[in-house]
Structure 1
């Protein structure tokens, strides 16, 4: 008997090919924020849930299959036998199932509105003849010949079939993309490449070898194989879906497990262990319920009834490299020696000590944003000459979001030693409003100019920074922050136990006053956070920080 690869072996290869296609698409999802989920064996072989549409994908592994207009429109045969006799010898023949061809099945997956339905075919064998037109990406087909000929041919073969959702052959042709990958190995290589790219761009780790990428690839294939094997009768669609949020969370942890000792010289902000200087004590919301204002109370505890000035000052030292060094200096790829790099840091530190209050406020706000949101800072203030400096460039951060686009957080700080806090807050608020009106376009332009993406994880804030578009087109993706440190009589030396409820009342009153102009200022739709930092004694804090900095300079 002749030995062949037909039957079970071929079927198993087909399943493997399909699972690898699903896994490759999942790795595409690591870098593409518009992809929200990959589903397996729910509607079609594989479905991709995009931000604005759903894509239904048929996977065809058979390498010997010839894809022509005839093969994709031929209806399937059933196991039942027709009573009609064939012309050749009167033998019974199998029944044809109406509207069961590859084209029919694909079109039937569409739902209303059909404009949000797209199709893809992934096969091991390339299509021939008129079907070659489908290999061109739909967005690149303008002016390409062959569309009408293909539509006419398929209409003739399908008797002008129109699916239940009222989508016709023309819609299917315009919405279908045909990709060809000859083997599982080719698909695996694409998936592993995506994993390596995502490790650097999403996590900030440059994988030292393919071993980790291959292990992660196998895990993704295994996960999707398990999901595809789940019965649709027993399990719901959610069980058979791999969501981007879940994939990203798992992927980050896996990368760090595989590369515990890895350090990248370029993604400098990704792997720093972020120890906050202050802790978050309370959150205040406006009494009117607006989501565009938020009050946060930052705090540092007492230790044996003594305020932790030393902890704050020592923690500040750990953050000064991010404040005073440019990305390429932190990465140390500019060729400067370690001693020269230290001298650069030292000279900037000494210059900053002449304006210690401004410097400390900048460090505290920087630490708050970085440690709470694992943000990517853009050290914009280092690039701005003093005469041209604008306030909104003091603290600039990219804050990642799983969906809806990353946010740009910009803010400034002030340590206040006076007694009229309400007046101080009103002045700071006015400064922010003025900066937004007068300087936001110049600030956006400058951020776009100086932002060095080679040192940042993947992000999508460029569209926020293009000054050809008005600032408020993406208003919901900006967050402005005012950080105010002030003396509070409730924080005493030594500690007076039980001050927290009164501190809550004090900070709530300050925040309510700050947000009282929501309906009258014209800035009600601008997202603004107020970070309040009550301190027992601002002068004592500055003195302790100065001592720590002088010790570091010695």
Structure 2
């Protein structure tokens, strides 16, 4: 977006922000939503509206109003503009009363001046009267309340056009959109207390940390992270529109995600009370298998869609023999991650250690009769955990077909900015390595890719198992 979108004036916004703690919490909430919504690219403070949420396909202009009043918001309070007296123009003889076009509604419509489609949100602690309740309905379900649109549109148009010069064109945004466009793209959200916003923010912080395998205990760490974020947002919002750029007043997703990850890592290292499910320390992670072959161009001639590569993995081999003892010891270290659920690993209370050991032993004994499957899963788990920086989520994929197809080697790898990866496949242990064994595995893999159940079956259930 061009810098011309930002008003080059320091009146009102930045100075007033110093007293708008509630507005700062609204901005923080949208910044934290970038942790779970990859389409939310940046959040701007006091650039066009109070808060601008920039999505890949749209912009949401958020106006926060915290005026002191015991009554509910009315159409008049929301849409009526102040007036001014102007000298007469011939043949008129009296001063004329003219609209200043400065109501909350006027200001919101005027935000529509960027290249992306515009959406609008009004956030207030006070509720609205029945005449405005249509705006509280989600845009996805507006058709269910369509009967309420016409009377509200008429009242808003009356307010917006009141005291405007006669014979003038209807009031529109810089992009040429009128009041009906605003009504079809606007939502009114009532959040009665600042504490509600704070609770939403800390919940997003805890959930995002948990997705990284870190459980922040209720000892103030989420609140301290939020406090740091609020301070950063205050600085951005109070920055001068005249001498600062849009980027100076924005929190970009590509900058915020690393900042947030550093914050949770900092508080994790301060105390042992924060539980980290899987270690990410590369010095402690040891792959059972190592890469000996990798080719990214092997499938080019076949013109497959997407990115494909061939990777060969091997166990340690030294002086013409495999170090099976070393492989076995390394493999054993991964069994607890394969056999225990994340919440079981995270529950490290001293009184639960014995029960956890019994549970691990029990599951190991149950799997021992299927040792080939257990070893295959552990090898895959260790390979993915040491290949990808993000911690994988192991899962089973069940497909509702006549064969009861179930893929038990499914891994979801979470990415900060790019779409998450879904890794699918199977593992097989063979006693004799020859052309026949390898051909059988290749044939099985090709059958999997060409399977109708794999490509077209809609009834799929993904179950996270570890």
Query: Normalization by structure 1: what TM-score?
Result: 0.63
1:498-537 aligned at under 5 Å gives the runs none
Residues 241 and 83 from structure 1, CA distance in 2 versus in 1: closer, same or farther, beyond 3 angstroms? same
Name the structure 2 match of 1:347: 365
User: Contact 1:13–1:61 (CA<8 Å) still a contact in 2?
Assistant: no
Name the structure 2 match of 1:314: 329
Name the structure 1 match of 2:58: 53
User: Contact 1:329–1:341 (CA<8 Å) still a contact in 2?
Assistant: no
Aligned length: 423
User: Contact 1:14–1:61 (CA<8 Å) still a contact in 2?
Assistant: no
User: Contact 2:384–2:392 (CA<8 Å) still a contact in 1?
Assistant: no
User: Contact 1:326–1:379 (CA<8 Å) still a contact in 2?
Assistant: no
Name the structure 1 match of 2:212: 203
**Secondary structure at 1:196 match in 2:** helix
- Cα deviation for residue 406 of structure 1 reads 2.7
Residue 177 of structure 2 corresponds to residue 167 of structure 1:
yes
- Bigger Cα displacement from structure 2, 215-224 vs 138-147: 138-147
Instruction: Find the aligned partners of 1:38 and 1:271 in 2 and give their Cα distance.
Output: 30
- Bigger Cα displacement from structure 2, 225-234 vs 68-77: 68-77
- Bigger Cα displacement from structure 2, 436-445 vs 16-25: 436-445
Of the candidates 379, 397, 401, which is equivalent to residue 364 of structure 1?
A: 379
Instruction: Find the aligned partners of 1:339 and 1:155 in 2 and give their Cα distance.
Output: 70
1:258-283 residue CA offsets vs partner (Å, 9 max, x unmatched):
2442365xx95587964333445664
Query: Normalization by structure 2: what TM-score?
Result: 0.74
Instruction: Find the aligned partners of 1:117 and 1:167 in 2 and give their Cα distance.
Output: 10
Residues 196 and 346 from structure 1, CA distance in 2 versus in 1: closer, same or farther, beyond 3 angstroms? closer
Instruction: Find the aligned partners of 1:327 and 1:138 in 2 and give their Cα distance.
Output: 37
Q: Point out the structure with the larger helix share.
A: 1
User: Contact 1:133–1:146 (CA<8 Å) still a contact in 2?
Assistant: yes
User: Contact 2:17–2:23 (CA<8 Å) still a contact in 1?
Assistant: no
Residues 228 and 279 from structure 1, CA distance in 2 versus in 1: closer, same or farther, beyond 3 angstroms? farther
Name the structure 2 match of 1:178: 188
Unaligned stretches of 5+ residues in structure 2: 1-11, 89-93, 162-169
Residue 239 of structure 2 corresponds to residue 257 of structure 1:
no
Name the structure 1 match of 2:6: none
**Secondary structure at 2:34 match in 1:** helix
Instruction: Find the aligned partners of 2:54 and 2:17 in 1 and give their Cα distance.
Output: 27
- Cα deviation for residue 292 of structure 1 reads 3.0
- Cα deviation for residue 196 of structure 1 reads 3.2
Residues 299 and 45 from structure 1, CA distance in 2 versus in 1: closer, same or farther, beyond 3 angstroms? farther
Instruction: Find the aligned partners of 1:395 and 1:188 in 2 and give their Cα distance.
Output: 39
Residues 13 and 210 from structure 1, CA distance in 2 versus in 1: closer, same or farther, beyond 3 angstroms? farther
Instruction: Find the aligned partners of 1:16 and 1:427 in 2 and give their Cα distance.
Output: 65
- Cα deviation for residue 119 of structure 1 reads 0.2
Unaligned stretches of 5+ residues in structure 1: 1-6, 85-89, 456-554
Instruction: Find the aligned partners of 2:106 and 2:343 in 1 and give their Cα distance.
Output: 57
**Secondary structure at 2:22 match in 1:** helix
User: Contact 2:17–2:238 (CA<8 Å) still a contact in 1?
Assistant: no
Of the candidates 404, 408, 411, which is equivalent to residue 397 of structure 1?
A: 411
1:20-47 residue CA offsets vs partner (Å, 9 max, x unmatched):
2201222333344443322212222111
Q: What is the CA RMSD across the aligned residues, in angstroms?
A: 4.3
Instruction: Find the aligned partners of 1:407 and 1:149 in 2 and give their Cα distance.
Output: 48
User: Contact 2:171–2:178 (CA<8 Å) still a contact in 1?
Assistant: yes
Residues 430 and 262 from structure 1, CA distance in 2 versus in 1: closer, same or farther, beyond 3 angstroms? farther
1:150-161 aligned at under 5 Å gives the runs 150-159=152-161, 160-161=170-171
1:72-83 aligned at under 5 Å gives the runs 72-75=78-81, 82=86
Residue 232 of structure 2 corresponds to residue 218 of structure 1:
no
